[in-house]
Amino acid sequence: MRFAKKASRRIAAAAVASGMVAAGTLALASSASAATTGTGAAGYNFTTLDNNHDLTFNQLLGINDEGLISGYFGSGAAGHPNKGYLLAPPAYGQGSYTNENFPGSVQTQVTGLNNRGITVGFWSNTNMGVGMDANFGWVNVDGHFRQADFPTSSPASPVTDQLLGVNDSDIAVGFYNDANGNSHGYEYNINTNRYSPVVDPNAPSASLTAAAINDNGDVAGFYTNPSTGNTDGFLLSHGRFTDLSVPGSSSTSALGVNNLDEVVGVFVPNSNKNALEGFTWTPQRGFTTVNDPHGMNDGNLTTTINGVNDRGQLVGFYVDANGNTDGFLATPGRTDAFTTSAVTLNLHLQAMPQGTVSLSKGVGGDLSATVDAFGLTPGSSHTVELISRDNFAQVLGTLTVNSVGQADMTLDSKVKNMWALGSRVEILNGTAGDPVSAEPIAETTRFYGVLTGYSLRSVEVGPNGTGYGTPQGTAAISYNPAAQTVTVTVNASGLTPGAHAAHIHDGSCMSQGPVQYMLMDFVANSQGQIVNQSRTVSVTGLTGPITATGWYLNLHQGNSNNILANGQPTINFRPLLCANI
Protein backbone atom coordinates (compact mmCIF):
# COMPACT_ATOMS: atom_id res chain seq x y z
CA MET A 1 0.00 0.00 0.00
CA ARG A 2 1.36 3.41 -0.93
CA PHE A 3 0.65 6.22 1.51
CA ALA A 4 0.93 9.45 -0.47
CA LYS A 5 0.29 12.95 0.86
CA LYS A 6 -3.19 14.21 0.07
CA ALA A 7 -3.80 16.62 -2.77
CA SER A 8 -6.43 19.18 -3.48
CA ARG A 9 -9.48 16.52 -3.87
CA ARG A 10 -11.03 17.14 -2.78
CA ILE A 11 -8.70 19.92 -5.11
CA ALA A 12 -7.00 19.42 -6.53
CA ALA A 13 -6.22 22.89 -6.72
CA ALA A 14 -4.61 24.28 -9.83
CA ALA A 15 -2.67 27.36 -10.68
CA VAL A 16 -1.25 29.00 -13.73
CA ALA A 17 2.35 29.26 -14.69
CA SER A 18 4.80 31.46 -12.84
CA GLY A 19 5.45 34.60 -14.84
CA MET A 20 2.09 34.48 -16.62
CA VAL A 21 0.34 35.46 -13.42
CA ALA A 22 2.91 38.06 -12.48
CA ALA A 23 2.67 39.60 -15.93
CA GLY A 24 -1.10 39.49 -15.85
CA THR A 25 -1.30 38.06 -19.34
CA LEU A 26 -3.13 35.19 -20.96
CA ALA A 27 -0.62 32.60 -22.10
CA LEU A 28 -1.65 29.00 -22.59
CA ALA A 29 0.44 26.09 -23.74
CA SER A 30 -0.35 23.31 -26.12
CA SER A 31 0.46 19.70 -25.43
CA ALA A 32 2.59 17.33 -27.46
CA SER A 33 1.45 13.93 -28.58
CA ALA A 34 4.21 11.77 -27.21
CA ALA A 35 3.81 10.10 -23.82
CA THR A 36 7.39 9.91 -22.59
CA THR A 37 7.97 8.28 -19.20
CA GLY A 38 10.81 8.48 -16.75
CA THR A 39 11.68 8.42 -13.08
CA GLY A 40 12.74 11.66 -11.43
CA ALA A 41 13.69 12.92 -8.00
CA ALA A 42 11.72 12.20 -4.83
CA GLY A 43 10.37 8.87 -6.11
CA TYR A 44 7.94 10.08 -8.80
CA ASN A 45 7.25 8.51 -12.18
CA PHE A 46 6.87 11.18 -14.88
CA THR A 47 4.76 10.96 -18.02
CA THR A 48 4.76 13.63 -20.72
CA LEU A 49 1.20 14.43 -21.88
CA ASP A 50 0.79 16.67 -24.92
CA ASN A 51 -2.18 17.43 -27.14
CA ASN A 52 -1.61 16.77 -30.85
CA HIS A 53 -3.27 20.07 -31.73
CA ASP A 54 -0.05 21.82 -30.72
CA LEU A 55 3.10 19.90 -29.94
CA THR A 56 5.10 23.05 -29.17
CA PHE A 57 3.25 24.33 -26.10
CA ASN A 58 1.17 22.57 -23.41
CA GLN A 59 0.61 23.30 -19.75
CA LEU A 60 -1.24 21.03 -17.30
CA LEU A 61 -2.67 23.10 -14.46
CA GLY A 62 -4.93 21.02 -12.21
CA ILE A 63 -5.83 17.43 -11.32
CA ASN A 64 -8.70 16.10 -9.23
CA ASP A 65 -8.89 12.90 -7.19
CA GLU A 66 -10.24 10.87 -10.12
CA GLY A 67 -7.20 11.85 -12.18
CA LEU A 68 -9.04 14.28 -14.48
CA ILE A 69 -6.59 16.97 -15.62
CA SER A 70 -7.19 20.56 -16.75
CA GLY A 71 -4.89 22.44 -19.07
CA TYR A 72 -4.49 24.19 -22.40
CA PHE A 73 -2.36 24.46 -25.53
CA GLY A 74 -1.06 27.48 -27.42
CA SER A 75 1.52 29.98 -26.14
CA GLY A 76 -0.69 33.08 -26.30
CA ALA A 77 1.67 34.78 -28.76
CA ALA A 78 -0.07 36.56 -31.62
CA GLY A 79 -1.60 33.95 -33.90
CA HIS A 80 -1.00 31.20 -31.33
CA PRO A 81 -4.02 31.45 -28.98
CA ASN A 82 -4.57 29.55 -25.73
CA LYS A 83 -7.17 26.79 -26.06
CA GLY A 84 -8.47 24.98 -22.98
CA TYR A 85 -9.07 21.28 -22.47
CA LEU A 86 -9.73 18.49 -20.00
CA LEU A 87 -7.72 15.26 -20.18
CA ALA A 88 -9.43 12.11 -18.82
CA PRO A 89 -7.84 9.02 -17.21
CA PRO A 90 -6.81 6.30 -17.32
CA ALA A 91 -5.31 6.13 -20.81
CA TYR A 92 -4.59 9.86 -21.23
CA GLY A 93 -4.47 9.25 -24.98
CA GLN A 94 -5.40 11.64 -27.76
CA GLY A 95 -9.01 10.43 -27.61
CA SER A 96 -9.14 11.45 -23.93
CA TYR A 97 -8.93 15.22 -24.61
CA THR A 98 -12.10 17.32 -24.45
CA ASN A 99 -12.04 20.94 -25.59
CA GLU A 100 -13.30 23.45 -23.03
CA ASN A 101 -13.41 27.10 -24.04
CA PHE A 102 -15.45 30.05 -22.80
CA PRO A 103 -18.24 30.70 -25.34
CA GLY A 104 -17.24 33.33 -27.88
CA SER A 105 -13.70 33.58 -26.56
CA VAL A 106 -10.54 33.88 -28.63
CA GLN A 107 -8.42 32.36 -25.86
CA THR A 108 -9.21 30.22 -22.80
CA GLN A 109 -7.25 28.57 -20.00
CA VAL A 110 -8.80 25.88 -17.79
CA THR A 111 -6.84 26.47 -14.59
CA GLY A 112 -8.72 24.55 -11.90
CA LEU A 113 -11.31 21.83 -11.30
CA ASN A 114 -12.89 20.04 -8.38
CA ASN A 115 -14.28 16.54 -7.82
CA ARG A 116 -17.84 17.58 -8.64
CA GLY A 117 -17.31 18.62 -12.24
CA ILE A 118 -16.92 22.37 -11.76
CA THR A 119 -14.11 24.03 -13.68
CA VAL A 120 -12.69 27.56 -13.53
CA GLY A 121 -10.25 29.63 -15.53
CA PHE A 122 -9.91 32.83 -17.51
CA TRP A 123 -10.54 33.94 -21.10
CA SER A 124 -9.74 36.71 -23.54
CA ASN A 125 -11.54 38.21 -26.53
CA THR A 126 -8.27 39.01 -28.37
CA ASN A 127 -4.94 37.40 -29.29
CA MET A 128 -2.59 40.33 -29.77
CA GLY A 129 0.26 38.74 -27.85
CA VAL A 130 1.44 37.99 -24.32
CA GLY A 131 0.89 40.98 -22.03
CA MET A 132 -1.42 42.79 -24.48
CA ASP A 133 -4.69 40.90 -24.04
CA ALA A 134 -7.35 41.58 -21.42
CA ASN A 135 -8.48 38.50 -19.50
CA PHE A 136 -11.54 37.70 -17.42
CA GLY A 137 -12.40 34.99 -14.90
CA TRP A 138 -15.03 32.31 -15.62
CA VAL A 139 -16.75 29.33 -14.02
CA ASN A 140 -18.45 26.36 -15.64
CA VAL A 141 -21.20 24.61 -13.67
CA ASP A 142 -22.82 21.65 -15.45
CA GLY A 143 -21.91 23.07 -18.85
CA HIS A 144 -23.18 26.56 -18.03
CA PHE A 145 -20.41 29.15 -18.33
CA ARG A 146 -20.52 32.53 -16.66
CA GLN A 147 -18.01 35.33 -16.26
CA ALA A 148 -16.73 35.99 -12.73
CA ASP A 149 -14.60 39.08 -12.07
CA PHE A 150 -13.89 40.76 -8.76
CA PRO A 151 -15.89 44.02 -8.58
CA THR A 152 -13.35 46.83 -8.46
CA SER A 153 -13.46 50.54 -9.28
CA SER A 154 -9.79 50.65 -10.33
CA PRO A 155 -9.05 47.79 -12.75
CA ALA A 156 -5.86 47.46 -14.73
CA SER A 157 -5.78 48.35 -18.40
CA PRO A 158 -6.02 45.95 -20.09
CA VAL A 159 -8.27 44.23 -17.54
CA THR A 160 -6.56 41.35 -15.73
CA ASP A 161 -8.77 39.00 -13.68
CA GLN A 162 -8.16 35.26 -13.35
CA LEU A 163 -9.71 32.38 -11.40
CA LEU A 164 -7.05 29.77 -10.64
CA GLY A 165 -8.48 27.10 -8.33
CA VAL A 166 -11.70 25.72 -6.86
CA ASN A 167 -12.56 23.33 -4.00
CA ASP A 168 -15.42 20.89 -3.44
CA SER A 169 -17.42 23.53 -1.56
CA ASP A 170 -17.48 25.50 -4.83
CA ILE A 171 -15.23 28.26 -3.50
CA ALA A 172 -12.89 29.54 -6.19
CA VAL A 173 -9.79 31.69 -5.76
CA GLY A 174 -7.94 34.05 -8.04
CA PHE A 175 -6.66 37.59 -8.37
CA TYR A 176 -7.11 40.84 -10.23
CA ASN A 177 -4.67 43.62 -11.06
CA ASP A 178 -5.47 47.22 -10.13
CA ALA A 179 -4.68 50.35 -12.14
CA ASN A 180 -1.23 50.51 -10.53
CA GLY A 181 -0.40 46.95 -11.54
CA ASN A 182 -0.69 45.46 -8.04
CA SER A 183 -2.29 42.03 -7.67
CA HIS A 184 -5.13 41.42 -5.21
CA GLY A 185 -6.15 37.89 -4.21
CA TYR A 186 -9.76 36.95 -3.61
CA GLU A 187 -12.21 34.13 -2.97
CA TYR A 188 -15.40 33.72 -4.99
CA ASN A 189 -18.41 31.72 -3.74
CA ILE A 190 -19.84 30.22 -6.91
CA ASN A 191 -23.21 29.41 -5.33
CA THR A 192 -23.90 32.80 -3.72
CA ASN A 193 -21.95 34.93 -6.22
CA ARG A 194 -20.09 36.67 -3.39
CA TYR A 195 -16.47 37.83 -3.35
CA SER A 196 -14.09 38.30 -0.41
CA PRO A 197 -10.45 39.47 -0.37
CA VAL A 198 -7.46 37.28 0.52
CA VAL A 199 -4.70 39.30 2.19
CA ASP A 200 -1.60 38.74 4.28
CA PRO A 201 -2.61 40.02 7.73
CA ASN A 202 1.01 41.04 8.38
CA ALA A 203 1.36 42.86 5.06
CA PRO A 204 -2.17 43.85 3.97
CA SER A 205 -0.96 46.11 1.17
CA ALA A 206 1.33 43.49 -0.40
CA SER A 207 0.71 42.48 -4.00
CA LEU A 208 -0.81 38.98 -3.66
CA THR A 209 -2.20 36.18 -5.85
CA ALA A 210 -4.48 33.46 -4.45
CA ALA A 211 -3.69 30.41 -6.60
CA ALA A 212 -5.32 27.38 -4.94
CA ILE A 213 -7.78 26.38 -2.22
CA ASN A 214 -8.44 23.03 -0.54
CA ASP A 215 -11.60 21.61 1.01
CA ASN A 216 -10.62 22.95 4.43
CA GLY A 217 -10.63 26.48 3.03
CA ASP A 218 -6.82 26.77 3.21
CA VAL A 219 -5.46 29.06 0.48
CA ALA A 220 -2.05 28.88 -1.21
CA GLY A 221 -0.49 31.49 -3.46
CA PHE A 222 2.32 34.00 -3.65
CA TYR A 223 2.95 37.62 -2.73
CA THR A 224 5.61 40.30 -2.64
CA ASN A 225 7.39 39.98 0.70
CA PRO A 226 7.69 43.57 2.00
CA SER A 227 10.80 42.66 4.03
CA THR A 228 12.86 41.38 1.10
CA GLY A 229 11.05 42.53 -2.01
CA ASN A 230 11.14 38.92 -3.26
CA THR A 231 8.20 36.81 -4.40
CA ASP A 232 7.38 34.29 -1.65
CA GLY A 233 4.77 31.58 -1.51
CA PHE A 234 2.25 31.38 1.30
CA LEU A 235 -0.29 29.11 2.96
CA LEU A 236 -3.21 30.80 4.72
CA SER A 237 -4.86 28.28 7.09
CA HIS A 238 -7.53 29.23 9.65
CA GLY A 239 -6.28 32.80 9.68
CA ARG A 240 -2.63 31.78 10.11
CA PHE A 241 -0.32 33.01 7.35
CA THR A 242 2.77 30.84 6.69
CA ASP A 243 5.48 32.31 4.48
CA LEU A 244 7.01 29.78 2.08
CA SER A 245 10.44 30.49 0.63
CA VAL A 246 12.66 27.67 -0.64
CA PRO A 247 16.08 28.02 1.03
CA GLY A 248 18.59 29.42 -1.43
CA SER A 249 15.92 30.77 -3.79
CA SER A 250 15.33 34.26 -5.14
CA SER A 251 11.64 33.62 -5.88
CA THR A 252 9.09 31.04 -4.66
CA SER A 253 5.52 30.69 -5.97
CA ALA A 254 3.00 28.33 -4.37
CA LEU A 255 0.55 27.17 -7.05
CA GLY A 256 -1.39 24.20 -5.62
CA VAL A 257 -2.50 22.75 -2.29
CA ASN A 258 -4.27 19.58 -1.16
CA ASN A 259 -6.36 18.61 1.86
CA LEU A 260 -3.32 17.77 4.00
CA ASP A 261 -1.78 21.14 3.17
CA GLU A 262 0.78 19.70 0.80
CA VAL A 263 1.77 22.74 -1.24
CA VAL A 264 3.37 22.60 -4.70
CA GLY A 265 4.89 25.24 -6.93
CA VAL A 266 8.03 26.59 -8.54
CA PHE A 267 11.16 28.42 -7.38
CA VAL A 268 14.13 30.20 -8.91
CA PRO A 269 17.45 29.20 -7.30
CA ASN A 270 19.93 31.94 -6.37
CA SER A 271 22.63 29.94 -8.11
CA ASN A 272 20.93 30.23 -11.52
CA LYS A 273 18.33 32.94 -12.13
CA ASN A 274 17.50 31.36 -15.52
CA ALA A 275 16.34 28.06 -13.98
CA LEU A 276 12.90 26.98 -12.76
CA GLU A 277 12.56 24.09 -10.32
CA GLY A 278 9.48 22.41 -8.92
CA PHE A 279 8.85 21.79 -5.24
CA THR A 280 6.47 20.18 -2.78
CA TRP A 281 6.13 21.32 0.84
CA THR A 282 4.36 19.86 3.83
CA PRO A 283 4.21 21.12 7.42
CA GLN A 284 5.85 17.87 8.52
CA ARG A 285 8.78 17.54 6.15
CA GLY A 286 9.27 21.03 4.69
CA PHE A 287 10.51 21.47 1.11
CA THR A 288 11.35 18.74 -1.41
CA THR A 289 12.67 19.59 -4.87
CA VAL A 290 10.86 17.71 -7.68
CA ASN A 291 11.97 18.15 -11.30
CA ASP A 292 10.84 16.31 -14.43
CA PRO A 293 13.95 14.55 -15.81
CA HIS A 294 13.04 15.75 -19.33
CA GLY A 295 12.91 19.40 -18.26
CA MET A 296 16.16 20.88 -19.52
CA ASN A 297 16.69 23.71 -22.02
CA ASP A 298 19.94 25.54 -22.75
CA GLY A 299 21.45 23.79 -19.74
CA ASN A 300 18.79 25.11 -17.36
CA LEU A 301 16.20 23.21 -15.33
CA THR A 302 12.67 24.15 -16.40
CA THR A 303 10.05 22.39 -14.23
CA THR A 304 6.92 24.09 -12.85
CA ILE A 305 4.42 22.15 -10.68
CA ASN A 306 0.91 23.60 -10.82
CA GLY A 307 -1.45 21.11 -9.18
CA VAL A 308 -1.63 18.22 -6.73
CA ASN A 309 -4.50 15.88 -5.85
CA ASP A 310 -5.31 13.85 -2.76
CA ARG A 311 -3.35 10.88 -4.09
CA GLY A 312 -0.16 12.89 -4.29
CA GLN A 313 -0.19 13.07 -8.10
CA LEU A 314 1.38 16.21 -9.54
CA VAL A 315 0.77 18.05 -12.81
CA GLY A 316 2.69 20.85 -14.44
CA PHE A 317 4.97 21.52 -17.38
CA TYR A 318 8.58 21.80 -18.46
CA VAL A 319 10.58 23.18 -21.38
CA ASP A 320 12.50 20.53 -23.31
CA ALA A 321 15.79 20.64 -25.20
CA ASN A 322 13.96 21.73 -28.37
CA GLY A 323 12.38 24.71 -26.64
CA ASN A 324 8.89 23.16 -26.55
CA THR A 325 6.69 23.45 -23.47
CA ASP A 326 5.35 20.03 -22.47
CA GLY A 327 2.78 19.00 -19.89
CA PHE A 328 3.57 16.26 -17.40
CA LEU A 329 1.91 13.98 -14.86
CA ALA A 330 4.05 12.81 -11.92
CA THR A 331 2.80 9.82 -9.91
CA PRO A 332 4.43 8.74 -6.63
CA GLY A 333 6.72 5.79 -7.28
CA ARG A 334 5.38 2.23 -7.27
CA THR A 335 8.16 1.03 -4.94
CA ASP A 336 5.60 1.29 -2.14
CA ALA A 337 7.30 3.16 0.69
CA PHE A 338 4.38 2.15 2.91
CA THR A 339 5.58 -1.44 3.05
CA THR A 340 9.16 -0.52 3.92
CA SER A 341 9.00 2.28 6.50
CA ALA A 342 6.80 3.66 9.27
CA VAL A 343 4.34 6.22 7.97
CA THR A 344 1.60 8.31 9.59
CA LEU A 345 -0.97 9.93 7.33
CA ASN A 346 -3.34 12.59 8.69
CA LEU A 347 -6.74 12.73 6.97
CA HIS A 348 -9.66 15.15 6.98
CA LEU A 349 -12.92 13.23 7.29
CA GLN A 350 -15.60 14.65 5.00
CA ALA A 351 -19.32 14.41 5.70
CA MET A 352 -21.27 12.36 3.15
CA PRO A 353 -23.11 12.79 0.86
CA GLN A 354 -21.74 15.70 -1.15
CA GLY A 355 -23.13 17.34 -4.27
CA THR A 356 -25.35 20.05 -5.68
CA VAL A 357 -29.02 20.67 -6.38
CA SER A 358 -30.50 23.02 -8.98
CA LEU A 359 -34.14 23.94 -9.56
CA SER A 360 -35.71 24.93 -12.87
CA LYS A 361 -39.20 25.62 -14.19
CA GLY A 362 -40.65 22.97 -16.47
CA VAL A 363 -43.83 22.58 -18.46
CA GLY A 364 -46.80 24.37 -16.90
CA GLY A 365 -44.64 25.99 -14.25
CA ASP A 366 -43.79 22.67 -12.57
CA LEU A 367 -40.41 22.50 -10.82
CA SER A 368 -37.62 20.18 -11.90
CA ALA A 369 -34.78 19.38 -9.50
CA THR A 370 -31.38 18.24 -10.78
CA VAL A 371 -29.39 16.37 -8.14
CA ASP A 372 -25.70 15.56 -8.70
CA ALA A 373 -24.27 13.79 -5.65
CA PHE A 374 -21.89 11.12 -4.40
CA GLY A 375 -21.22 9.40 -1.08
CA LEU A 376 -24.64 7.73 -0.91
CA THR A 377 -25.36 4.08 -0.15
CA PRO A 378 -24.65 2.09 -3.34
CA GLY A 379 -27.89 0.90 -4.98
CA SER A 380 -30.13 2.90 -2.64
CA SER A 381 -33.20 5.06 -3.35
CA HIS A 382 -34.13 8.31 -1.64
CA THR A 383 -37.19 10.52 -1.49
CA VAL A 384 -36.32 14.12 -2.38
CA GLU A 385 -38.53 16.83 -0.91
CA LEU A 386 -38.95 20.58 -1.26
CA ILE A 387 -39.40 22.22 2.16
CA SER A 388 -41.22 25.55 1.86
CA ARG A 389 -40.58 28.70 3.87
CA ASP A 390 -43.36 27.51 6.18
CA ASN A 391 -41.73 24.06 6.50
CA PHE A 392 -44.38 22.38 4.38
CA ALA A 393 -42.93 19.35 2.53
CA GLN A 394 -43.73 18.39 -1.06
CA VAL A 395 -42.20 15.42 -2.86
CA LEU A 396 -40.03 16.26 -5.89
CA GLY A 397 -39.31 12.65 -6.81
CA THR A 398 -37.19 9.58 -6.07
CA LEU A 399 -33.40 9.67 -6.41
CA THR A 400 -31.79 6.38 -7.42
CA VAL A 401 -28.12 5.68 -6.72
CA ASN A 402 -25.70 3.61 -8.81
CA SER A 403 -23.41 0.83 -7.65
CA VAL A 404 -20.60 3.18 -6.55
CA GLY A 405 -22.76 5.58 -4.52
CA GLN A 406 -23.33 8.26 -7.16
CA ALA A 407 -26.55 9.88 -8.41
CA ASP A 408 -27.06 12.34 -11.25
CA MET A 409 -30.78 12.78 -11.99
CA THR A 410 -33.33 15.39 -12.96
CA LEU A 411 -36.59 14.90 -11.06
CA ASP A 412 -39.66 16.28 -12.83
CA SER A 413 -42.24 17.08 -10.17
CA LYS A 414 -45.78 18.43 -10.02
CA VAL A 415 -44.69 21.09 -7.54
CA LYS A 416 -45.36 24.58 -8.88
CA ASN A 417 -42.48 27.03 -9.19
CA MET A 418 -44.15 29.48 -6.77
CA TRP A 419 -42.89 27.17 -4.01
CA ALA A 420 -39.24 27.69 -4.95
CA LEU A 421 -38.49 31.09 -3.40
CA GLY A 422 -37.38 30.62 0.19
CA SER A 423 -37.57 26.84 0.01
CA ARG A 424 -34.84 24.27 0.46
CA VAL A 425 -34.32 20.75 -0.89
CA GLU A 426 -33.99 17.80 1.46
CA ILE A 427 -32.85 14.24 0.68
CA LEU A 428 -34.30 11.55 2.94
CA ASN A 429 -32.63 8.35 4.09
CA GLY A 430 -34.95 6.10 2.07
CA THR A 431 -38.34 5.82 0.40
CA ALA A 432 -40.38 3.48 2.65
CA GLY A 433 -41.91 6.25 4.73
CA ASP A 434 -41.01 4.68 8.09
CA PRO A 435 -39.23 6.89 10.68
CA VAL A 436 -35.75 5.69 9.69
CA SER A 437 -36.40 6.18 5.95
CA ALA A 438 -37.87 9.62 6.67
CA GLU A 439 -34.73 10.90 8.39
CA PRO A 440 -33.05 13.68 6.37
CA ILE A 441 -29.47 12.94 5.33
CA ALA A 442 -28.67 16.07 3.31
CA GLU A 443 -30.16 19.46 2.58
CA THR A 444 -29.48 22.71 0.78
CA THR A 445 -29.72 26.23 2.08
CA ARG A 446 -32.90 28.10 1.10
CA PHE A 447 -33.28 29.17 -2.52
CA TYR A 448 -33.24 32.94 -2.97
CA GLY A 449 -32.49 34.73 -6.23
CA VAL A 450 -30.83 32.18 -8.52
CA LEU A 451 -32.02 28.57 -8.41
CA THR A 452 -28.88 26.79 -9.59
CA GLY A 453 -25.80 25.23 -8.05
CA TYR A 454 -26.77 24.93 -4.38
CA SER A 455 -24.44 22.70 -2.38
CA LEU A 456 -25.75 19.82 -0.30
CA ARG A 457 -24.95 19.82 3.40
CA SER A 458 -24.85 16.45 5.10
CA VAL A 459 -26.96 16.16 8.26
CA GLU A 460 -27.20 13.43 10.88
CA VAL A 461 -30.55 12.76 12.56
CA GLY A 462 -31.14 9.89 14.98
CA PRO A 463 -34.12 7.49 14.80
CA ASN A 464 -35.85 9.48 17.55
CA GLY A 465 -35.63 12.67 15.50
CA THR A 466 -32.72 14.19 17.42
CA GLY A 467 -30.42 16.19 15.17
CA TYR A 468 -26.66 15.94 15.63
CA GLY A 469 -25.65 18.46 12.94
CA THR A 470 -23.11 17.77 10.22
CA PRO A 471 -20.59 14.99 10.94
CA GLN A 472 -16.96 16.08 10.88
CA GLY A 473 -13.63 14.84 12.08
CA THR A 474 -10.06 13.75 11.46
CA ALA A 475 -8.24 10.44 11.20
CA ALA A 476 -4.61 9.42 11.55
CA ILE A 477 -3.47 6.24 9.81
CA SER A 478 -0.16 4.79 11.00
CA TYR A 479 1.76 1.86 9.54
CA ASN A 480 4.10 -0.27 11.67
CA PRO A 481 6.40 -2.17 9.29
CA ALA A 482 7.81 -4.41 12.03
CA ALA A 483 4.40 -5.62 13.19
CA GLN A 484 2.84 -5.21 9.72
CA THR A 485 -0.18 -3.43 11.17
CA VAL A 486 -2.16 -0.33 10.34
CA THR A 487 -3.67 1.70 13.17
CA VAL A 488 -6.54 4.11 12.51
CA THR A 489 -7.22 6.80 15.12
CA VAL A 490 -10.43 8.83 14.79
CA ASN A 491 -11.71 12.04 16.37
CA ALA A 492 -15.18 13.01 15.18
CA SER A 493 -18.42 14.73 16.15
CA GLY A 494 -21.97 15.07 14.88
CA LEU A 495 -22.70 11.32 14.88
CA THR A 496 -25.61 9.36 16.30
CA PRO A 497 -24.51 7.90 19.67
CA GLY A 498 -23.53 4.25 19.44
CA ALA A 499 -21.36 1.96 17.31
CA HIS A 500 -20.39 2.83 13.74
CA ALA A 501 -18.83 0.35 11.34
CA ALA A 502 -15.59 1.42 9.67
CA HIS A 503 -13.55 -0.02 6.81
CA ILE A 504 -10.67 0.69 4.47
CA HIS A 505 -12.13 0.24 0.98
CA ASP A 506 -10.89 0.07 -2.58
CA GLY A 507 -11.94 3.08 -4.65
CA SER A 508 -12.60 6.60 -3.39
CA CYS A 509 -15.18 8.65 -1.53
CA MET A 510 -16.56 9.63 -4.94
CA SER A 511 -16.50 6.11 -6.43
CA GLN A 512 -17.00 3.52 -3.69
CA GLY A 513 -15.60 0.03 -3.91
CA PRO A 514 -15.32 -3.22 -1.91
CA VAL A 515 -13.87 -3.56 1.58
CA GLN A 516 -10.11 -4.05 1.79
CA TYR A 517 -9.79 -4.17 5.61
CA MET A 518 -12.48 -4.31 8.29
CA LEU A 519 -11.96 -2.32 11.49
CA MET A 520 -13.65 -2.80 14.84
CA ASP A 521 -16.57 -0.41 15.24
CA PHE A 522 -15.91 3.10 16.49
CA VAL A 523 -18.30 4.18 19.26
CA ALA A 524 -19.79 7.68 19.53
CA ASN A 525 -20.63 8.86 23.06
CA SER A 526 -23.93 10.40 24.20
CA GLN A 527 -22.88 13.74 22.70
CA GLY A 528 -22.26 12.13 19.31
CA GLN A 529 -18.47 12.30 19.62
CA ILE A 530 -15.71 9.80 18.90
CA VAL A 531 -12.79 10.87 21.07
CA ASN A 532 -9.31 9.64 20.12
CA GLN A 533 -10.32 6.02 19.51
CA SER A 534 -7.85 3.70 17.76
CA ARG A 535 -8.39 0.46 15.87
CA THR A 536 -5.57 -1.77 14.59
CA VAL A 537 -5.70 -4.25 11.72
CA SER A 538 -3.05 -6.67 10.44
CA VAL A 539 -1.75 -6.19 6.89
CA THR A 540 0.59 -9.18 6.95
CA GLY A 541 1.57 -10.20 3.46
CA LEU A 542 1.05 -6.77 1.91
CA THR A 543 3.87 -6.46 -0.63
CA GLY A 544 2.46 -4.46 -3.53
CA PRO A 545 1.41 -0.86 -4.03
CA ILE A 546 -2.07 0.57 -3.66
CA THR A 547 -4.49 -0.30 -6.47
CA ALA A 548 -4.84 2.07 -9.41
CA THR A 549 -8.14 3.44 -8.12
CA GLY A 550 -6.86 4.04 -4.58
CA TRP A 551 -8.21 3.34 -1.11
CA TYR A 552 -10.46 5.29 1.23
CA LEU A 553 -11.59 5.21 4.87
CA ASN A 554 -15.35 5.06 5.48
CA LEU A 555 -17.41 5.36 8.69
CA HIS A 556 -21.00 4.14 8.37
CA GLN A 557 -24.33 5.03 9.95
CA GLY A 558 -24.88 1.56 11.41
CA ASN A 559 -22.74 -1.04 13.13
CA SER A 560 -21.03 -4.14 11.76
CA ASN A 561 -24.09 -6.28 12.47
CA ASN A 562 -26.72 -4.27 10.58
CA ILE A 563 -25.10 -2.54 7.59
CA LEU A 564 -25.45 -5.61 5.34
CA ALA A 565 -28.19 -8.17 4.74
CA ASN A 566 -27.49 -11.14 2.45
CA GLY A 567 -24.31 -9.36 1.36
CA GLN A 568 -26.15 -6.23 0.21
CA PRO A 569 -26.11 -2.75 1.84
CA THR A 570 -29.05 -1.98 4.13
CA ILE A 571 -30.41 1.44 5.02
CA ASN A 572 -27.91 1.45 7.91
CA PHE A 573 -24.98 1.25 5.48
CA ARG A 574 -25.19 4.99 4.77
CA PRO A 575 -21.67 6.56 4.69
CA LEU A 576 -21.29 9.29 7.31
CA LEU A 577 -17.61 10.25 7.14
CA CYS A 578 -15.07 9.51 4.43
CA ALA A 579 -11.47 10.31 3.51
CA ASN A 580 -9.40 9.31 0.51
CA ILE A 581 -6.07 7.68 1.41
What mean pLDDT do residues 105-112 have?
98
Please, what are the domains in the chain? 9-334 (2.120.10.30), 345-349+471-580 (2.60.40.200), 353-458 (2.60.40.200)
Residue range 103-121: mean pLDDT, rounded: 96
Helices (H) and strands (E) in the chain, counts: 1, 47
Query: Is the pLDDT confidence value at 10 over 90?
Result: no
- pLDDT of 284: 76
CB burial of 284-304 (b: ≥16 within 10 Å; e: otherwise) equals: eeebbbbbbbbbbbeeebbbb
C-alpha–C-alpha distance, residues 525 and 533, integer Å: 11
518-564 pLDDT, tens per residue?
A: 999 999 999 999 999 999 998 876 554 444 347 899 999 999 999 99
pLDDT digits over 448-467, tens only? 777 777 889 999 988 778 88
Mean per-residue pLDDT for 188-207? 92
Average pLDDT, stretch 469-493? 89
Pick the more confident residue, 554 or 485. Answer: 554
pLDDT at 42: 54
Q: Identify whether the C-beta of residue 185 lies closer than 8 Å to the C-beta of residue 199.
A: yes
More confident residue, 168 or 539: 168
Q: How would DSSP label each residue in 85-122?
A: EEE-TTT--GGGEEE---TT-SEEEEEEE-TTS-EEEE
Which pLDDT score is estimated for 541?
63
pLDDT of res. 2:
26
Structure confidence at residue 111 as a pLDDT band (50, 70, 90): very high
Given a cut of 80, is residue 19 above it in pLDDT? no
Three-state DSSP at 217 gives coil
- Residue 333: the pLDDT is 58
Q: Could you tell me if 154 and 101 are in contact, meaning their C-beta atoms sit under 8 angstroms apart?
A: no
Mean pLDDT confidence for 247-267: 95
pLDDT band at 202 (very low <50, low <70, confident <90, very high): confident
How would you class 523 by CB atoms within 10 Å of its CB: exposed for 0-12, middle for 13-18, buried for 19 or more? middle
Q: Is the pLDDT of residue 512 over 70?
A: yes
Taking 60 as the threshold, does the pLDDT of residue 132 lie above it?
A: yes
> At residue 256, does pLDDT exceed 80?
yes
- In DSSP terms, 307 is beta-bridged to 315
Give percent above pLDDT 70 in the chain: 89
Per residue in 38-78, pLDDT (tens digit) is 444 457 889 999 999 999 999 999 999 889 999 999 999 99
Q: Which of helix, strand or coil describes residue 301? A: strand
User: What does pLDDT average to over the chain?
Assistant: 87
pLDDT at 3 over 60: no
Question: At residue 516, does pLDDT exceed 80?
Answer: yes
Confidence of residue 26 (pLDDT cuts 50, 70, 90): very low
Q: Is 9 a residue whose pLDDT tops 50?
A: no
Residue that wins the pLDDT comparison between 541 and 182: 182
Q: Are 33 and 55 in contact (CB under 8 A)?
A: yes
Per-residue confidence (pLDDT) for residue 337, from 0 to 100: 41
Q: If pLDDT is split at 50, 70 and 90, which confidence band does 340 have?
A: low
pLDDT digits (tens, 9 = 90+) for 238-252: 888 999 999 999 999
What's the pLDDT at 38? Answer: 46
Average of per-residue pLDDT across 259-276: 94
Measured between alpha carbons, how far is 575 from 558 in angstroms, rounded to an integer? 9
Cα dihedral 341, 344, 348, 353 sign? positive
- Give pLDDT, residue 91: 85
H or E segment at 21?
Answer: helix 20-23
pLDDT value, residue 341 = 57
pTM over 0.85: no
Rounded to whole angstroms, the Cα distance separating 498 from 337 reads 36
d(CA 161, CA 113): 18
| pLDDT at residue 60, as a whole number | 98
Residue 227 CB-density burial (10 A; 0-12 exposed, 13-18 middle, 19+ buried): exposed
Q: Which residue has the higher pLDDT, 10 or 256?
A: 256
